[in-house]
Amino acid sequence: MLQYTQKRVNGIQDLERKLNEFGYRIGARMLELLTWREKVAKRETRVLGVLYFIHNVVWKALFGKQADSLEKSTENEDEYMISDNDPILTRYISVPKELSQLNCNAFIAGIVEACLDGYQFPARVTAHTVPVDGFPQRTTILIKLDKDVLQREELLK
C-alpha cells in the first residue's frame, strides 16, 4: 500500500494525507463491524466513552492489545491523546532517508478519525512519533475535537 501510494503523490504531506484517507475507509468499516460484534446496544453520547471504546476495543481488534495510554491534554480542553509505545504497523516498515519525516501511523489516525465521525464526534486526528527511553517508535495519536462537540458535551452535563 505504501509503495502504491508513494508513486502517486508529490510529497510527504500528500503521502500522509493519502494514508489517512485509506485508514479512514478501514475505520468506518471497522466501527460498523465492532459495533455489531460487541453487541453495543446504545450509542455512546460522551467523548470519553467513545475514546475509551477506541482505546480498548478498536485497538485490540486491530493490533491484538489495547493502546498503552489515553490522556487528556492539560493545555487544551479539546485535545486528547492515545499513545502506543510499540506500534505494530511501523515495526516492519523501513522508511528511506529522503522520507525521514514520514509518519506511516497517519493510517491509524485515519482509523481513529473515522470511528469518531461514526459516533458523531468530528475531530482532526494526527499521528506523531514521540520517542521515549526504551520506545523509539512511540506514537501518539492527537485528537483535536471540533468546538461543537465540547458545547454538546456541556449541554449533556
Q: What is the CATH number of the domain that holds 40?
A: 3.30.1380.20
Number of domains in the chain: 1
Q: What's the rounded mean pLDDT across residues 53-75?
A: 94
**Looking at the predicted structure, is the pLDDT value of residue 114 above 90?**
yes
The percentage of the chain sitting over the pLDDT mark of 70, rounded to a whole number, equals 97
Q: Which of 40-54, 80-94, 99-113 has the lowest mean pLDDT?
A: 40-54
pLDDT of residue 5: 81
Supply the range of the domain harboring residue 101: 10-156
Pairing of strands 69-72, 123-129: unpaired
Q: Residue 3 falls within a domain, yes or no?
A: no
CB distance 127 to 139 below 8 Å: yes
What pLDDT sits at residue 131? 87
Q: Would residue 2 count as lying in a domain?
A: no
Count CB neighbours of 126 within 10 A.
18
Q: Does 130 reside within a domain?
A: yes
Residue 133: pLDDT over 80: yes
Residue 63, pLDDT > 90, answer yes
- Is 1 a domain residue? no
pLDDT at position 41 = 60
Establish if 112 belongs to a structural domain. yes
Is 73 domain-assigned?
Answer: yes
Sequence-separated (6 or more) residues with CB below 8 Å from residue 77: 150
Asked if the structure places residue 5 within a domain, the reply is no
The pTM (predicted TM-score) of the whole model is 0.90
Is the model more confident about 152 or about 137? 137
Comparing 148 with 71, which gets the higher pLDDT?
71
Does residue 100 belong to any structural domain of this protein?
yes
Question: Please, what is the Cα angle at 128 between 141 and 85, to 5 degrees?
Answer: 70
Banded pLDDT at 9 (limits 50, 70, 90) = confident
* pLDDT at 139 > cutoff 90: yes
Average pLDDT over residues 21-35: 94
